[in-house]
Amino acid sequence: MPVLVVGSIALDTVKTPFEEHADLLGGSASYCAVAASFFSAVNLVGVVGADFPAEHVAFFKSRGMDLAGLQVAEGRTFRWSGEYMLDMNVRETRSIALNVFEHFTPRLAAGYAESAFVLLGNIGPGLQNHVLDQMAGPRFVIADTMDLWIKVALDELMRLLGRVDMLILNDSEARLLTRETSLVKAGLLIQAMGPRFVAIKKGEHGCLLFGEGGDFFSCSAYPLEDVHDPTGAGDTFAGGLAGYLASTVSGEVTFGDLRKAVVHGSVLASFNVEMFSLERMRSLTQEDIAERYESFRLFSHFEVIP
């Protein structure tokens, strides 16, 4: 069952204390879609410029994605540049050039409106609502957001929260949205705003999952000796989660389904940060994923997650 993925597609320049690389494949839709493709088919909606490298399009196709929703516009592709500090939880944006993304209006290709699972990547909530306006009753909708939209588009974001099944955001965004220091209180308050489920990402400290009726699950992050590029880790987590749900759930999504999906999303994210951009995902295999999932399950004592 395909996942409809909508978001940004970018060319990134990333600097860490140890390396710097330019013109890397990036953007929320890229990370989400590639991660989801390890579990399910993907319908990708985004926009690129005429300068977008053909090799990246070929990579998307190699992952079995349907690219009928990929718009190619005159001009340059969205570009982002960022620098990570020695503590890679700390990042500084050096430059942003929206280019063709500035006037992006998501258009659903034929058949996309019937997608059962929808992942709205980190784009403006007005655009996310525009996508849902075109949908024909999706079964499960996941949305990501960021601090910018909480600050400048709160009304649209609040409208979105009443239309989605799950919101994914990080710990600082949850605190900003709710004005709560306690992440548990923040998660419960966000649920009251509309979503049935809320996932609060905590970077290298894992994720908190909130469900209906007080259901709660805390997932650690997979421990890694080396992190080379954290860019897109949260998007990879969301994509892995959505793809796993689409590949395994035929009825209503339950909290038990989401616990397993959160762990699979965390596993995908742990692979992605091992190399810059999406390079690690090019060589990743299903056997790699299964082996790391089992290792994760055992050392975290996830006996309830077979």
**Domain residue extents for the chain:** 3-299
Phi, psi of 283 (to 5 degrees): -105, -5
Phi, psi of 279 (to 5 degrees): -60, -35
Q: Given this model, what pLDDT does residue 60 score?
A: 98
What is the end-to-end Cα distance of the chain in Å, rounded? 22
The DSSP symbol for 141 reads E
In the numeric block, the tokens 């905590």 are attached to 202
Q: Given this model, what pLDDT does residue 1 score?
A: 84
| Residues 210 and 188 sit within 8 Å (Cβ to Cβ) | yes
d(CA 76, CA 96): 12
Q: Given this model, what pLDDT does residue 192 score?
A: 97
- The CATH classification number of 3-299 equals 3.40.1190.20
Q: Given this model, what pLDDT does residue 88 score?
A: 86
Q: Given this model, what pLDDT does residue 301 score?
A: 59
d(CA 117, CA 39): 13
Low-confidence stretches of the chain (pLDDT < 50) are 304, 306
Q: Given this model, what pLDDT does residue 302 score?
A: 57
Q: Given this model, what pLDDT does residue 303 score?
A: 54
